[in-house]
């Protein structure tokens, strides 16, 4: 009954799927095939999104905490593959699927979880992350795709910073984790990390980092991303970084000018 209730709530949630960047499909225990009702959820998802506005889609599979790491990695990968195959068979363009990955089991401490059954149910899932096409013009992308060429830029709205800070937010780290996965699958791409600032008087070329007190805020933002990606096993030989100060505002508000973007330098 709990599984049926979760699926019912998920179907209701999907009625507004055009506005949601993330969709989730839940699986039964130790299964990677779908019931007819679960398949209908995926089919409904495809029907409700406007594919002309989708840049790409990322698929991540997960398992609960029971079983060995090796077994659960296989199971989570099979779940991701099941969803990919269903998307393609229902007419979704496979070239737009840029990341397909089994994440394995989600480790929890049973003694600290109030409702362990519900938690495990939610962890037996596949997440679909839809990256929408941007409106920033030709040569600017929302994700690393096979279409990028030298001179193109990758701009992700989730890699933003607080005013005066070069520290990564939780959302920025999540976004960079996805980028690291994409870059591990596209080892030919080399790029420059460019930091930016907002709200700085025109007489200054850069902002002040409130932690270091230096007027090198855009450089520090780029450097922070450089070392974070390096910690995720992206070779430093593929990356450079620089600060662009306030020279390239997007004209879409201060929030989006506190950003880091990626310039493709070699493929």
CA distances from 16 to 11, 39, 128, 131 (A): 10, 18, 15, 16
In angstroms, the CA 45 to CA 40 distance is 8
Q: What count of other Cβ atoms lies within 10 Å of the Cβ of residue 178?
A: 20
Asked if CATH classification 3.30.1330.60 holds for the domain at 2-132, the reply, yes or no, is yes
- Give pLDDT, residue 138: 52
Torsion of Cα atoms, 150 then 156 then 161 then 167, to 10° = -70
Give all strands of the β-sheet with 97-105 in edge-to-edge order.
Answer: 22-26, 125-132, 54-63, 97-105
- pLDDT at 23 (0 to 100): 78
Average pLDDT of the segment spanning 89-111: 75
Does this chain's domain 2-132 share its CATH topology with 140-266? yes
Phi, psi (rounded to 5 degrees) for 45 = -55, -45
Share of the chain above pLDDT 90, in %: 1
pLDDT greater at residue 131 or residue 105: 105
Number of residues that make up the chain: 267
The highest-level CATH class for domain 140-266 is alpha beta
50-94 pLDDT, tens per residue?
Answer: 776 776 788 888 988 888 888 988 999 899 999 888 888 877 777
pLDDT, greater one: 98 or 28 = 28
State mean pLDDT over 181-188: 82
In this predicted model, which residue has the larger pLDDT, 103 or 76? 76
The residue ranges of every structural domain in the chain are 2-132, 140-266
Asked whether the beta carbons of 169 and 160 are under 8 A apart, the reply is yes
* Residue whose structure tokens are 């779940």: 79
Contact 203, 153 (CB under 8 A): no
> CA-CA distance, 216 to 210, in Å (whole number)?
10
Highest mean pLDDT among 19-28, 96-105, 144-153, 229-238: 229-238
Statement: residue 139 has pLDDT above 70: no
Which pLDDT value is given to residue 157?
Answer: 66
Q: What is the band of 121 on the pLDDT scale with cuts at 50, 70, 90?
A: confident
pLDDT exceeds cutoff 70 at 195: yes
DSSP 3-state of 232: coil
Give the per-residue pLDDT at 4: 41
20 vs 85: which has the higher pLDDT: 85
Q: DSSP letters of 114-141?
A: S-HHHHHHHHSEEEEEEEE--SS-TTEE
Q: Which two tokens stand for residue 193?
A: 């990390």
pLDDT surpassing 80 at residue 190: yes
144 pLDDT more than 70: no
**Reported pTM:** 0.53
């Amino acid at each position: 009954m709990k599984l049926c209730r979760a699926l019912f709530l998920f179907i209701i949630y999907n009625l507004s799927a055009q506005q949601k960047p993330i969709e989730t499909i839940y699986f039964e225990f130790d299964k990677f095939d779908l019931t007819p009702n679960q398949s209908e959820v995926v089919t409904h998802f495809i029907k409700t999104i406007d594919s002309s506005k989708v840049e790409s889609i990322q698929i991540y599979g997960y398992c609960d905490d029971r079983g060995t790491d090796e077994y659960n990695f296989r199971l989570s990968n099979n779940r991701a593959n099941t969803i990919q195959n269903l998307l393609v068979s229902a007419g979704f363009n496979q070239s737009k699927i840029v990341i397909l990955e089994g994440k394995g089991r989600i480790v929890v401490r049973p003694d600290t979880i109030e409702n362990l059954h519900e938690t495990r149910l939610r962890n037996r899932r596949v997440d679909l992350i839809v990256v929408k096409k941007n409106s920033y013009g030709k040569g600017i992308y929302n994700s690393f795709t096979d279409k990028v060429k030298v001179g193109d830029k990758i701009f992700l709205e989730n890699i933003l910073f607080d005013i005066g800070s070069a520290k990564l937010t939780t959302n920025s780290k999540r976004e960079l984790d996805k980028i690291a996965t994409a870059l591990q699958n596209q080892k030919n791409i080399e790029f420059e990390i460019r930091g930016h600032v907002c709200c700085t008087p025109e007489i200054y070329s850069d902002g002040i980092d409130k932690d270091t007190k230096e007027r090198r805020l855009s450089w520090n933002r780029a450097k922070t991303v450089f070392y974070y990606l390096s910690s995720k096993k992206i070779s430093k030989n593929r990356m450079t970084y620089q600060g662009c100060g306030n020279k390239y505002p997007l004209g879409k508000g201060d929030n989006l000018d506190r950003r880091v973007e990626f310039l493709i330098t070699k493929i």
